[in-house]
Structure 1
């Protein structure tokens, strides 16, 4: 059986929308919430769903101060009763068989981490309409961008693929989490890279990370998400993205460079990342606006 772990902070409004898709997952017997000192009615929402689904064991833990998502992920697996653990963000809708399919893929393939596809819905879009729009992906970019050190979840692929790390909605084993764990350094700002750190650590030590095209999780549209690490100024997000990527690359660049066929040194990699990220945050939005203005 599977334990679902949900780190959350001031997202009661989102939990009300997504939790039915968590509690109705096949092969899930336990849902654990790690409340990072929320000031809203998160506890009341958890109690409501716990009563709605009494056959699923619900555990709720509330931090006495804000420790960040990595701390919550770590506390979550420490409290899990099952060997198989899946992480769910508090603003994601899970496909009907997401957990079951990820577990079946993990067992049949010998992978150590499995996720489904991940993308953002349009405002108010139903799950079925989102799936129809997404299809097998939305663009022809490479799935793993070694220059940005990130997975492009919208890229087209029609089969199961292996990657150095995937997104935040993934299934793995508690024993692997105990061995490789999460780095609580990613505790401030937007916490960028916090789930990737565990996965890339595992990958560097021979672990296999699989993305299956058979199931999907769908993120709420960003305009619907009123709080969290992405709900800060563009400049703040840019700063924390660079801050955590610098730490992330210092930690893993030379461990993973040969596996990713990277032929340049760390300082060049950081320079490339800075240029691409600056363009993403500050140049590309203006190019898009200008292009729309000429249509």
Structure 2
């Protein structure tokens, strides 16, 4: 999809500015971390709809607030003094705010996958382009997901918390992630997603699951582990011999109102 030159210029300017910005170590307490994410929390409370979509037009009108939040991250460097939950909540917020801002720069757009970000020597996908500066280092969305939110024991609930900007992805939480309540927030997200027939259709003997389970099969484990995971969160009793199939994934933008086009889900 063609992108207006003004959008490219503005986004390139942001990357240049963040890359040059000085780094200041941020040693945050729980209170100061909450204050750091308060602007993002406010934007979510105003612009996430009741069904978990994002009103990008509304975010666009408040673009300066989102930009200021992202700019503040250049002074932040997570440290060992942070709890694991605080660190995970931090990177979830960084990822989601960065993805939202990326879409806003090219809005209106039918899918985040239509975006190509100009970089030196060409362009990159929205997943591989460096889109935000944290503590003086530029990251892509894929880097954040793989290097900061995955590990030897990945938490599969994370895939229902990340803002993939897709209609078939989990509905957005109407607040920022908070290390002090993160486990509860992730449980809420997982339970909401799995029990919604728009994303998963479940009977005791047969599960039609979101393609997120297939794309990130390594994180969810074997079929028996998937059944056990799903059983912990759903109202429908699941038989241990239940069969699993995967539903096609719509990469249509998770806008307040938008088209619904389905295609196979692939791990970006």
Question: What TM-score results when the alignment is normalised by the length of structure 2?
Answer: 0.26
Question: Which structure is higher in strand share?
Answer: 1
TM-score, normalised with respect to structure 1: 0.25
